[in-house]
A and B are shown apart, each in its own frame.
Chain A
Amino acid sequence: MDAAAPRPKENMGEPLPRVDARLKVTGQAHYPADLPTANIAYGALATSSIAKGKVAKLRLDEARAVPGLLDIVTYGDMDKVDKPKFGNSGATSIGPLHDRTIFHDGQIVALAVAETFEAAEEAARLIRAEYEEEKPTATFDSPGTATIPAAGKSPLFKEDVKAGDFDAAYADAAVKIDQRYSTPTQHHNPIELFSTTAYWEGDQLIVHEPSQNVTGWKVELARQLRIDPAKVRIVSPFIGGAFGSKGPMTPRTAIVAVAAKRLGRPVRCVTSRMQAFGTQTYRAETRHRIRIGAGKDGRITAFAHEGWEVTSRPDAYVVGGTSATGRMYDYGSVLTHVSLVQADRNTPGYMRSPPETPYVYALENAMDEMAVALGMDPVEFRRINEPKAEPIGKKPFSSRSLIQCYDQAAEAFGWADRDPKVGAMRDGDWLVGIGCATAIYPTAVAPCAARVRLTVDGDVRLQCGSHEIGTGVRTVAGQMASERLGVSIEKISVEIGDSSLPPAPVSGGSISTASVCSAVLMACDAIRTKLYAAATAEGGPLAGSHNEEFELAGGKILAKSGASAKVGDVLKAMQVGAIEEYAEFAPKGATPEALKKLYAGTPEFHGGEQDEDSVKYAFGAEFVEVRINRYTREIRVPRIVGAFAAGRIMNTRTARSQLMGGMIWGIGQALHEATEVDRRYARYVNRDLQDYLVPVNADIKDLQVILVPEVDHAVNPAGVKGLGELGNVGTAAAVASAVYHATGRRIRDLPIRIEQLLV
């Protein structure tokens, strides 16, 4: 069978091809900057070349002289617009054109608008700034940082978790480690460039922009522009990769909307690849200190994880991965503390598994070190410390299939054949190492609305303001409707990516499949109930089959008794052309305001560590083989196996692809990805795809994804755990483990590069 379409196991859906696949391979999938817009004017940004200070003067004369220039939006032009707010819908509180203060490198200074892209770009380059410049603070160890506790700074990070008496347990431990780890600044670099196209129809604003959060943006943009959210529409039918970068709206959106209003015509601004590094969010660099103490039997008795994270001056973005690492194993005692380090940088933000990628990397690298210190097989070490309940609140896991993942991945990888001795495995001039690590990601779910319409002809229209960022949400939502309504997928049209549709939460945090499918399930079940009631009503085709189990299949209602009725006939009997249901799903534990908050663009997240009854996570285990040339020390990963359990798998094809992509991301995290900061100026240096390296095709050879069956009814009605972010958690630690195995060198600072292995 084709590797791309794994045969479904228990609790897994069919590997249907993506319903939007044809659009994507024919160039007919319209990403926001592709949407046809008449009479368009082009915008180009001018951005600051300093990281701290003030723009004393802006000289626009040369730019204004460019033929075709229409307008320049700059200081003073945003006075009737409110500043952005930092939060789930807003990337930063910095209103770049609201005052002349420069908070970071690459801050927007002006938007030039012209008849052509070429003229706009030319004009933007000719905008000259005179700065009143101050010495900026770049990052950790730079003079001028301020360090503050992270707990309570973000609604998602309320406290530093702890349990038991760490100090005493650590002091008593027979075997212990105390190590420091670090991860660099990283930028999402989706291949689609960031863009905004805005136009006004009377007092109605339409914005085409790649967004993971159309509802949140609608509300936030309306707030900034001081207009009714009903007058704003965000359109984003396809998104060319997001990974968190298109979750919060950036200040550019309102600036382009203002430009469109001033000109009275549509304005499109496509940000250059270079400018994206300063105008969008990024993964904060982090540092970690981890202490683990254990008995000689390998049982952990003490675990401490301290983290430090760089953020901007005005906004306290918290990475905060200790809530997951603190619950990973049966530690005995736990101590955690997270600090924010403020510097003159743009505000960081969510990037694929935001807390877990750096924090679990540190934890799992430390676990591998601990296994070495104990002289224990690293898989066995994890098995020994497998918890019955999480160590902080002593709550059970709603489901936890980590050991099954380890067993299946180890088997497929051939872990048993490993010679544990460092440097023992060689292939000619290549040092071979193998290693493993745990993947974990919290399973959350949020309120979501959906509208489903079933017509007399058996066609289904499904509407939900979710987002296609590559996850295949059209396909899995369609599959859910197909299953509940007994209609083949070809008969289902799915409309998403528009704020005029029923609201869905941000497509982030791996919540979309669970949230959207739960809402679709609700709407479909309401249709089923109506259909069945009509069918079994007096005079209906199934009269008398009351209170009986039934199925919907092939356009028919099938009663257990064997009686059946065509759905179309039931609708005709109801004297309607269609049944339409609007469902508002709110997860278990939702507050009374939950739905209101969904419409306000600030949906509640439930699950993860927050629920009373249990903690909810998806787990996986990853094994990698590295090869390192004995002379030149370049590091390659020719083989990687991951096994993952994530509740119900809606579609094994899209699930495998997401996990595969995550694992390759993990390889990139391990070996390539780093945004270099020039510490003197607090400026990014490698702001392009020439020097910001991500894996290319030749870097990936043998990759295997194993989907481990798991049933979990506690997580949400759909039984689905998210997996879009699970795959790239732990990978970097597995690579570090393999590098150690090959060379005896323990690399703790990412990315792992040639120079760390030469000496």
Chain B
Amino acid sequence: MRPFVYEQPADISAAVATASRFTTNDDQPTRANAQFIAGGTNLADYMKLGVAEPNRLLDLNRLKESGLRQIRVTDDGIRFGALVRMGEAADHRDVTERYPVIADSLRLAASGQIRNMASLAGNILQRTRCEYFRETSWQCNKRVPGSGCAAMEGVNRQHAVLGASDACIATYHGDFAQALIALDAVVHAEGSRGARKMPFAKLHRQPGDTPHIETDLVADEIITAIEVPAIPWARRSLYLKIRDRESYAFALASAAVALDLDGETVREARIALGGVATVPWRASAAEQSLQGKKLDEASAEAAADAAFAQARPRQHNAFKIELGKRTLVRALLETRDMKV
């Protein structure tokens, strides 16, 4: 690990000012000399591996703004402070009751210890766990732009079938993000250019030719909150995560589903897919295919086909297309059958 200077800014504006002083507008947050740390579960790991090499860490845990640590329910929805830990949010009664898909996505992620450490903002910004990215001796366009992608023709069972490019097929491994993108969450951020909010769907960038650009954030921007709108029917929602072992593993395929049903007919469906895509993946075509239809195995399968119509397999991950479809079918039917 490279040595670094450690600082504890007192508030958001101090954190932004310090970050601004040691970074430029062109710096990617993940590549900047000054980087923010909260839980550290992702960044400390990548610093140890030599993947992230900041020489200045700005610890956000002592920021004085109390809203950063709160979950607030309003008429408009629910607002998660960026520093709320995953474990706290997963167990929060308003979350488990109003947004089961969020609670599930948090509860099924990582381990109890990691959920106690990891902040919500840090979680959604977590970087891929692609082994060719993690180990610095492999070619990786995300880590070293232009160096090539060893995963493309390598061992790519874990890799993405949706949203991949010729430069990168690394999977986005988070779970929470799937719930957020499905529910049209909004991300609040503050940086030297001021405060802004953006739809969650705009936060992550597909790899394209520039897989090293992972999000829309600039290096001195801090996520301060995540807002999820009030969706009364989101009580009928769940997150289904399929993995090789029962717990503490990344998804091979997952689905976040929320359904507004009129009897068995779909008024509105929200669907996002995990474990199969390079970014949190909203399955809009699948949602549209269900609208106004009776939800049964056939319509669920049609929606799943629509969701994976653009999927592109590599040597070892072709099964993810079939698995992803079946995961979605199962999630849709289980959501339909929820007692709410």
Is there any pair of Cβ atoms, one from A and one from B, under 8 angstroms apart in the complex? Answer: yes
Q: Does A98 contact B (CB under 8 A)?
A: no
CB of B154 to closest CB in A, whole Å:
5
A691 within 8 A of B: yes
Q: Please name the residue on chain A nearest to B321 by beta carbon.
A: A758
Q: Are B246 and A698 in contact (CB under 8 A)?
A: yes
Binds A, one of B119-127, B162-170, B192-200, B247-255: B247-255
Interface string of A265-283 (1 = CB under 8 A from B): 0000000001000000000
A130 partner residues in chain B, CB cutoff 8 A: none
Q: Which residues of A are found within 8 Å of B250, using beta-carbon distances? A: 690
- Number of B interface residues, CB 8 Å? 34
Whether A693 pairs with B245 at a CB distance below 8 angstroms is yes
Contacting pair A636 B326 (CB below 8 A): no
State the CA gap A274–B247 with chains docked (Å): 22
A573 within 8 A of B: no
List which A81-104 residues lie within 8 A (CB) of chain B: none
Q: Tell yes or no: A125 within 8 A of B by CB.
A: yes
Contact of B246 among A121, A633, A685, A699 (CB under 8 A): A699
Contact with A along B93-127 (1 / 0, CB 8 A): 00000000000000000000000000000000000
B131 and A759 within 8 A (CB)? no
Type the 1/0 row for A698-728, where 1 means its CB is closer than 8 Å to any CB of B. Answer: 1100000000000000000000000000000
If A121-B1, A759-B322 touch, does A634 touch B244 (CB 8 Å cutoff)?
Answer: yes
Which chain A residues border B232 with CB–CB below 8 Å?
A: none
Q: Decide: B243 and A634 in contact? CB cutoff 8 A.
A: yes
Highest count of chain B CB atoms <10 Å: which of A122, A699, A754: A754
Q: Is the CB of B323 within 8 A of A755?
A: yes
Q: How far is the CB of A250 from chain B (nearest CB, A)?
A: 21
Does A564 interact with chain B (Cβ within 8 Å)? no
Pair A672/B155 contact, Cβ less than 8 Å: no
Question: Is the contact region of chain B dominated by helix, strand, or loop, or is it mixed?
Answer: loop
Hey, which chain A residues are within 8 Å of B243, CB to CB?
634
- B249 adjacent to A680 (CB under 8 Å): no
A11 at the interface (CB under 8 A from B): no
Residue B150 interfacial (CB < 8 Å): yes
Specify which chain B residues have a CB less than 8 angstroms from the CB of A680 in the assembled complex: 153-154
Q: Are B329 and A695 in contact (CB under 8 A)?
A: no
The answer to whether B158 touches A691, judged by C-beta atoms less than 8 angstroms apart, is yes
Residues in chain B near residue A698, CB distance under 8 A:
245-248
Verify if A671 is at the interface (C-beta below 8 Å from B).
yes
Interface flag for B31 (CB, 8 Å): no
**Nearest CB on A from B37, distance (A):** 17
- Contacting residues, chain B, for A3 (C-beta < 8 A): none
Inside 8 A of A636's CB, which chain B residues have their CB? 246
Q: Could you mark each residue 139-175 of chain B with 1 if its beta carbon is under 8 Å from any beta carbon of chain A, else 0?
A: 0000000000010011101100000000000000000
- CB of A758 within 8 A of CB of B3, answer no
- Interface band, chain A: 35 or more
Q: Which residues of B196-222 have CB atoms within 8 Å of chain A's CB atoms? A: none
Pairwise interchain contact A125-B50, C-beta atoms closer than 8 A: yes
Question: Are A122 and B3 in touch, CB under 8 angstroms?
Answer: yes
Minimum C-beta distance from B173 to chain A (A) = 10
Q: Which residues of A contact B247 (CB under 8 A)?
A: 696-699
Chain B residues with CB under 8 Å of A118's CB are 1, 3
Residue interface mask B69-112, A partner, CB < 8 A = 1: 00000000000000000000000000000000000000000000
Bound-complex Cα distance A497 to B3 (A): 38
- Give A681 Cβ to nearest chain B Cβ, in Å: 8
- Cβ-based interface call for B242 (8 A): yes
B56 within 8 A of A: no
Within 8 A of B (CB), among A244-294: 274
In the complex, what residues of B have CB within 8 A of residue A121's CB?
Answer: 1
- The residue in chain A whose Cβ has the minimal distance to the Cβ of B327 is A632
| B131 (CB) vs chain A CBs: closest residue | A685
In the docked arrangement, what's the CA distance between A125 and B157, Å?
Answer: 29
Q: Is A745 an interface residue (CB 8 A)?
A: no
In the assembled complex, the CB of A118 is this many whole angstroms from the nearest CB of chain B, namely: 7
B330 — which chain A residues lie within 8 A by C-beta? 429, 629, 631-632
A697 to B2, CA, bound (A): 36
Report if A274-B135 is in contact (Cβ < 8 Å); known contacts: A678-B154, A685-B155, A696-B247: yes
A49 to B3, CA, bound (A): 24
Whether A696 contacts B155 in the complex (CB less than 8 A), given A629-B330, A631-B326, comes out as no
| B129 lies within 8 A of chain A by Cβ | yes
Residues of A within 8 A of B246 (CB): 636, 696, 698-699
The answer to whether A671 and B129 touch across the interface, beta carbons within 8 angstroms, is: no
Q: How many A-B residue pairs have CB under 8 A?
A: 86
In the complex with contacts A690-B129, A693-B245, A633-B155 CB distance below 8 A: no
Q: How far is the CA of A691 from the CA of B253 in the complex (A)?
A: 15
Give every chain A residue within 8 A of B1 (Cβ-Cβ).
Answer: 118, 121-122, 125
Interface pair B150/A678, CB less than 8 Å apart: yes
A313 interfacial by beta-carbon distance below 8 Å: no
**Which residue on chain B has the smallest CB distance to residue A691?**
B131
Chain A CB within 10 A, most for which of B50, B244, B329: B244
A672 interface neighbour in B134, B158, B245, Cβ under 8 Å: B245
Does A597 reach chain B (CB closer than 8 Å)?
Answer: no
CB contacts (< 8 Å) of B135 on chain A: these are: 274, 687
For the complex, give the distance between the alpha carbons of A70 and B14 in Å: 39
How far does the alpha carbon of A758 sit from the alpha carbon of B318 in the complex, in Å? 11
Interface residues of B in 302-340 (CB under 8 A from A): 319, 322-323, 326-327, 329-330
A753 within 8 A of B: yes
> Are B245 and A754 interface neighbours, CB within 8 A?
no
The answer to the question of A676 belonging to the interface, with a C-beta cut-off of 8 Å to chain B, is yes
Residues of B within 8 A of A672 (CB): 244-245
Q: Chain B residues near A690: list those with CB within 8 A.
A: 129, 250
| Contact (Cβ within 8 A) A686 B131 | yes
Please name all residues of chain A whose beta carbon is closer than 8 Å to the beta carbon of B327 when the two chains form the complex.
631-632
Cα distance, A680 to B150, chains bound together (Å)? 10
Contact among A632, A671, A696 for B242, CB-based, below 8 A: A632
Q: CB distance A758 to B326 under 8 Å?
A: yes
Inter-chain contacts of A633 with B (CB < 8 A): 323, 326
CB-CB contacts below 8 Å: A577-611 with B? none
B155 touches A755 (CB 8 A): no
A122 touching B245, Cβ below 8 Å: no
Docked complex Cα distance between A125 and B242 (Å): 36
**Contact partner of A686 among B153, B155, B248, CB < 8 A?**
B155
A-side contacts of B248, CB under 8 Å: 696, 698
Tell me, in angstroms, the Cα distance from A350 to B252 when the chains sit together.
31
Question: With A680-B153, A686-B131, A758-B322 known to touch, is A695 a contact of B245 (CB < 8 Å)?
Answer: yes
Most chain B Cβ neighbours within 10 Å, of A121, A125, A758: A758
In chain A, positions 504-520 with a C-beta closer than 8 Å to chain B are none
CA distance A573 to B153 in the complex (A): 81
Q: Which 5 A-B pairs have the closest CB atoms?
A: A755-B319, A49-B137, A698-B247, A698-B246, A631-B330
A-B contact pairs, 12 of them (CB 8 A): A680-B153, A680-B154, A685-B131, A685-B154, A688-B131, A693-B245, A696-B246, A696-B248, A699-B246, A755-B157, A755-B319, A755-B323
Residues of B within 8 A of A (CB): 1-3, 50, 129, 131-132, 134-135, 137, 150, 153-155, 157-158, 242-250, 252-253, 319, 322-323, 326-327, 329-330
Known contacts A122-B2, A632-B253; 14 additional CB pairs below 8 A are A49-B137, A633-B323, A636-B246, A672-B244, A677-B155, A678-B154, A685-B132, A687-B135, A693-B249, A696-B247, A698-B245, A698-B248, A755-B323, A758-B326
